[in-house]
Chain A
Amino acid sequence: MSTALDAPKARLHLEARERASLTVRIVVPIVSILIASIFTSIAMVIDGHSPIDAFVEIYHSAFGGKNPLVRTLLLSTPLIFTALAAAVAFRMKIWNIGGDGQLMMGAVAASGIAIFLSGAPFWILIPVILIAGSLGGLLWAGVAAVLKVFFKTDEVITTLMLTFIASHYMEYLIFGSFSYWRDPESSTYATGKAIPEVAELPRFWGRLHIGFLIAVGAGLLVWWALKSSRWGYETRVIGDSPTAGRYAGMSVSKNIIIVLCVSGALAGLAGAVEVVGINHALQPTALQTGVGFTGIIAASIARMHPLMLIPVAVFLSGLVSSGTSLQQMGIPIDIVLLLQGLVLLFVAAGEFFLHYRVRYAPRGEVA
C-alpha cells in the first residue's frame, strides 16, 4: 500500500492509515484552522491592520455578550439547516450542491402560503408554513432526483442549474412582475408582501426566535435517523457501494429520491424559517447570500456529522456577524469570506492527513 514501491527513489512516501487516532482527528482540524488564520492575518498585516485586534474584535462582536450571541445564532439558523441538507446527501455520495435554490423555493412556498392563509390562527399557520417551506425545497430537489433516476443526469450539475433558475424566478416574483408575492404598495423599490403578524416566529431570548431550536432539533433528528434507523443504514451502505446495496436487496433509485427529497426539505426549511423568523416577506436579496454553499462548507468542516456541524455553523456565522464591526475598524468585510474559504481549504487538505501518513525514507531504503 505504499507508493515507495512504485518509485524506489522517493524520499517521501505515503502510507494509508487504517484508522486515524483520536489525537490526529482533533489536532488536524485545529492546525488547519490555525493555518487559515495565519494566512488571513498576513492579508490584514499587508493592508496595515493588527490581526490580533481584529480577532479580538471578531470574538467580541460575535460571541461576547447576549446581543452579539443572539445575532450570531440568528445567522446560524438557516446555515444549520443547509449544512444538514448537505450532510444528509453527501453521506450517501449524492452531491446536492443546490441548497441555495431549494432554500429559495422553500421561501417562495412558505411566504405564499403565509399570505394566502392570513386569517388563520397562529397554531395552524406556523406548522403549515414550515411544511410548505420544506415541500418547496423537497420538490425543487425532487426535480434533480427524478432527472437522476430516470435520465441518469449528474446531480452536481442539475442542482446547481436549478439554483440559478430558482434565483431568477424569485427575482421575477418580486422585481420583474406584480405577482402575488409582491407588495402592491411598493413601486419605486419593489419589496415582498408582508406576511400576517401572527405568522411570525415567537422569540424566546431577545430577538432569537424558535427557528434556532427547530434547527437544533432537526440536527438531533437527522443524527438519530442516520445512526439508528433502517433508512440511515441503507444510505450508509449505498454510499459506500451502490452495488453492495443492490445485492442486499436495497433499491438504490428509491434511496436516491428519498435522500435528495430529505436534503431538499431541510434546505427548504431554512428558507421558510428565514421568511417567518427574520424577513417576514419574500425578500430575494436576503436569500441570495449563498447560505447553501456555506452549508456545504460547514458540513465538510464537521465531516458530515449532523451534530458537529451545529457548532461549526455557529462559528462560521460568528465570522459573518463580526463583518460589520471589522468594517468599522477599516478592515474590508470580505476578509471574513477569505477566512471562511481558507478554513475550508485547510480543513479539506487536512483530511488527507487523516487518511495518509507521510513517511520520510532515506534514499535507497524501501519501506
Chain B
Amino acid sequence: MNDTVLILSLATTIAAGTPMLLAALGEILAERSGVMNLGIEGMMLIAAASGFWITSETESLALGMLTGIVAGTLLAAIHAVLAVSLRVNQIISGLALVIIGTGLSGFLGDAATPKLTGRPPGARFTSLLPEALTDLPVVGPLVFDHDIIVYLSWIFVAATSYFLFRTRPGLAVWAVGDDPATADSAGIPVIAFRYGFTLLGGALAGLAGAYLSIHLIGTWQDSLTSGLGWIAFSLVIFSGWRPWRAMLAAYVFGGLTTLGFTFQILGFGVPTDFLAMLPFVLTIVVLAIISSRPEAARRFGAPAALGKSFARESR
C-alpha cells in the first residue's frame, strides 16, 4: 500500500467521523449541564429522515440541513420537558426518544411520496477551499479538502472547549452539572441552563443526522444511522467529557471501519466484527480506569449530578 492510499483513507476517516463528532459535542454540552440524553440515535434518525425528505422536495441542501437541525432540537425538547421539568428518569426518557425517533423516521420514510431514494443532483457539499490549497501534497487532502460542515465541526470543538474551560457561563455549566443546588444558590438559572444545553445537544445531533443522510450516504433507509448515535454516546465517556479528546476519538472510531478494509487489503485476518466492537471495549476500559481512581474520576469522570433531576423545593 502506498502513501496516497493511506492519506486518502485518513481523509475519508475525517468525513466519516464528523457525524459522530458533532453528536458527541452536543451530548458533552448536555451532560455537562447534568442532562444525560440516551436518545442521540433517535434525534439523528429523525433529522436524517426529515432533512433528506425536505432536500428531495425542495432540492435545497440548506433547507434540508436546517430541517434536520430543527427536528433534532424538537425531539430534544421532549427530553428536556420530561427530564428537566417533569423529573422523569432520564434513562427512560432518553430511550423513549430512541423509539420515537426510530418509529417516526421510519414512518416518514415510508409515507413520503415520491419515495426517498436518490439524492437530488447537486445536493451535497463540496470542498470549501480553492484548488491551490486542496492540491497540496499530504496537507491538501487531510486539512484543506473538506466541506463546510467538517470545518464547522472543528470550529465547534474549539468553541465548546473555550466556552467550557475559559468563560464564566461555561464554568456555570459545570456548576449546574456538578452541584445544581449550590449553583442555584449562586443565582445560576439551573433549569434554563439545562433546557438550553439539552436543546443545543439536539441541534448538533440533528446536524449530524442530516449531514449523514443527505451528504455522506445520499439516500434514506430505515435505521440509517446504524448505531452511530450510540458510538457518539460512548465517545463522550471515552473523551472524559472533553471536546478535543472527543474529536481525536471520533476520528479513531471513524477510522476503524476504514482500517478494516485496509487490513483486508494487507492480508491481516482481523475480523471486522472485532474492529466494530473496539469502540465499546475501549470505552469500558477507559471508564474503568478513570472511575476506579478518585483523582482521575474528579478530572475525567462524569459530572457529579449527571442524570439527577433538580427540584428546588426538595433541596
Contact = CB atoms under 8 A, between A and B. Distances in A.
Contact of A341 (B88, B103, B288, B313): B103
B291 A154 contact: yes
B292 interface: yes
Contacts of A296: 91-92, 95
A338 B42 CA distance: 11
B155 interface: no
Interface stretch (A71-79, A134-142, A166-174, A197-205): A166-174
Interface stretch (A19-27, A235-243, A257-265, A328-336): A328-336
B111 A47 contact: yes
A177 B272 CA distance: 11
A95 B91 CA distance: 8
Interface in A179-224: none
A171 B88 contact: no
Binding site of A, secondary structure by majority: helix, strand, loop or mixed? helix
Contacts of A340: 99, 103
B271 interface: yes
B141 interface: no
Contact of A349 (B82, B271, B273): B82
Most buried by A among B93, B111, B297: B111
Contacts of B82: 345, 348-349
Interface residues of A, number: 55
A156 B313 contact: no
A344 B96 contact: yes
B288 A154 contact: no
Interface in B259-315: 271-274, 276-277, 280-281, 283-284, 287-289, 291-292, 297, 302, 307, 312-314
B110 to A, nearest CB: 3
Interface in B65-105: 78, 81-82, 86-89, 91-93, 95-105
B237 interface: yes
A151 B103 contact: no
Contacts of B107: 43, 47, 332, 334-335, 338
B156 interface: no
Contact of B277 (A14, A154, A164, A334): A164
Contacts of B103: 334-341
Contact of A164 (B92, B230, B314): B230
A97 interface: yes
A17 B283 CA distance: 41
Interface of A: 1-3, 5-6, 14, 16, 43, 46-47, 95, 97, 147, 150-154, 156-158, 160-162, 164-165, 168-169, 171-172, 175-177, 293, 296-297, 300, 332-342, 344-345, 348-349, 351-352, 355
| Nearest 7 pairs of A and B residues by beta carbon | A337-B103, A334-B106, A332-B110, A338-B103, A341-B99, A341-B100, A172-B273
Interface of B: 36, 38, 78, 81-82, 86-89, 91-93, 95-107, 109-111, 222, 227, 230, 233-234, 237, 271-274, 276-277, 280-281, 283-284, 287-289, 291-292, 297, 302, 307, 312-314
7 contacts: A2-B313, A157-B287, A296-B95, A332-B106, A334-B107, A338-B103, A349-B86
